[in-house]
Structure 1
Amino acid sequence: MTRGYFLFLTLTLIYLNSCKNSDKINIPETGSIMTTTQKDKKYEWLPTECAPEIYPVRIKEGYFIMEDGSSIEIPSGGRTVHNGWGQIGSTYIVGDDLKPIPRKLKITWISYAENKFYSGDFDLPSEEIQRFFEKGFLDRRNKQENYSRIVVGMAPGGIVSIWLLGAGSTVEIGQYLAKEINMEINDLSPNTTLDRETYVANRINSLKEDKLKKLKEVGIRTDIWKTYRKRYSWKPVYNFNSQAEATKTLVDFFNGESIHTFSKNPLLTSFQEFAVPKYTRFYWMDKNKNEFGSKIYFDEKEMYETFDKIFANPKVKQAVLNFEVDKYNSNIKVFIESDVERLELKKATIKVYEASN
Structure 2
Amino acid sequence: MKNKIRVLLLLTLLNLTLASCQKNMEQKEYSWTTAACTPKNYPAEIFSGHLLTNLKPNSYYAYLPFNTVINPKEGLGSNNNSTTDGATGIVPKKLDITWISYTENKSYSGVFNLDANKIEALMINGDREPFYDNKLKKIVINKYYGYGINVGLLPGGVVLVWVGGSENTTLVGRYQAHEDKNVDWKVAHSSMEEKKGADEYVADIVSRLPQEIKNQIVHGRIPFGYWDTLLKQYNLTPVVKPEDKVESIYFNYINGEFESIFLSLDDNVMSIKKRAAPRKMNIVWHDINDRRMESDVYFDEKKIKALFEQTKPNEGIGFVINIDRNTKPRETTGMAIKLKTKDREIDLQEAIVSQETFTKPVPY
For the criterion TM > 0.5, the same-fold answer is yes
**Residues 202-258 of structure 1, C-alpha deviations (whole Å, 9 max, x = no match):** 112334xxxx24534775222022212211111112248xx4311222211111111
Q: Does residue 1:66 correspond to 2:63, yes or no?
A: no
2:355 to 329, 351, 354: 351
Q: Name 2:108's counterpart in structure 1.
A: 118
Say if 1:236 and 1:322, in contact at 8 Å, map to a contact too. Answer: yes
Matched, 1:75 2:75: no
Which shifted more, 281-290 or 44-53?
A: 281-290
Name the SS for the 1:311 alignment partner.
Answer: coil
Distance in 1 separating the partners of 2:128 and 2:215 = 39
Name 2:36's counterpart in structure 1: 49
Which residue of 2 is the match for residue 17 of structure 1? none
Please report how far the alpha carbon of residue 318 of structure 1 lies from its aligned counterpart in structure 2 after TM superposition.
0.9
How far apart, CA to CA, are the structure 2 residues paired with 1:172 and 1:271? 18
When the two chains are superposed, the root-mean-square deviation of aligned CA atoms in Å is: 2.9
- Give the length in aligned residue pairs: 312
Q: Which moved more, 1:194-203 or 1:48-57?
A: 194-203
Kept in 1: contact 2:285–2:292 (CA 8 A): yes
Residue 90 (structure 2) aligns with: 100
In 2, distance between residues paired with 1:42 and 1:269?
A: 29
User: Could you tell me how far 1:121 is from its partner in structure 2?
Assistant: 0.3
* Structure 1 equivalent of residue 273 of structure 2: 272
* 1:143-164 per-position Cα deviation (integer Å, ceiling 9, x unaligned): 4333511111111010111111
Q: CA 1:90–1:298 in 2, change beyond 3 Å: closer, same or farther?
A: closer
Deviation at 1:261, TM superposition (A): 4.2
CA distance in 2, matches of 1:52, 1:276: 17
Match of 1:323 in 2: 321
Post-superposition Cα deviations, 1:250-304, rounded to whole Å, max 9, x if no partner, equal 2111111112342446697122111121111112122534222222222333323
Equivalent position SS for 2:203:
helix
Q: Distance in 2 between matches of 1:285 and 1:110?
A: 49
CA deviation vs aligned residue, 1:24-53 (integer Å, no higher than 9, x gap): xxxxxxxx8999xxxxx9631111211122
Alignment partner for residue 224 of structure 1, among 226, 242, 251? 226
Contact 1:237–1:320 (Cα < 8 Å) also in 2: yes
Instruction: Mark the CA change 1:226 to 1:356 in structure 2 (over 3 Å): closer, same or farther.
Output: closer
Instruction: Point out the structure with max Rg over C-alpha.
Output: 1
State yes or no: 1:190 paired with 2:181: no
* Residues 164-218 of structure 1: CA deviation (Å, up to 9, x unaligned): 11123211110101001103542442355762221111112334xxxx2453477
- Judge conservation of contact 2:47–2:185 (CA < 8 Å) in 1: no
Partner of 2:239: 237
Letter in 1 for 2:229: T
Q: Tell me the TM-score normalized by structure 1.
A: 0.78
Matches within 5 A, 1:121-270: 121-139=111-129, 141=131, 143-182=142-181, 183=183, 185-192=185-192, 195-207=197-209, 212-216=210-214, 219-239=221-241, 243-264=243-264, 269-270=270-271
Normalised to the residue count of structure 2, the TM-score between the two structures is: 0.76
Alpha-carbon distance change, 206 to 273 in structure 1, aligned in 2, over 3 angstroms: same
Query: For residues 224 and 63 of structure 2, what CA distance do their matches in structure 1 show?
Result: 24
SS in 1 for 2:311: helix
Which amino acid letter does the alignment assign opposite residue 62 of structure 1?
Answer: G
Name whichever of 265-274 and 177-186 sits farther off. 265-274
TM-fit CA distance, 1:82: 1.2
Q: CA deviation at 1:140?
A: 5.3
SS in 2 for 1:80: coil
Q: Structure 1 regions of 5+ residues with no counterpart? A: 1-31, 36-40
User: Structure 1 CA distance, aligned partners of 2:122 and 2:189?
Assistant: 37
Contact 1:139 1:261 survives alignment (8 Å): no
Which segments of 5 or more consecutive residues in structure 2 lack a partner in the other structure? 1-16, 22-27, 132-140, 328-332
| Aligned CA distance change for structure 1 residues 106 and 233 (closer, same or farther; 3 Å) | same
Maintained 8 Å contact 1:233/1:319:
yes
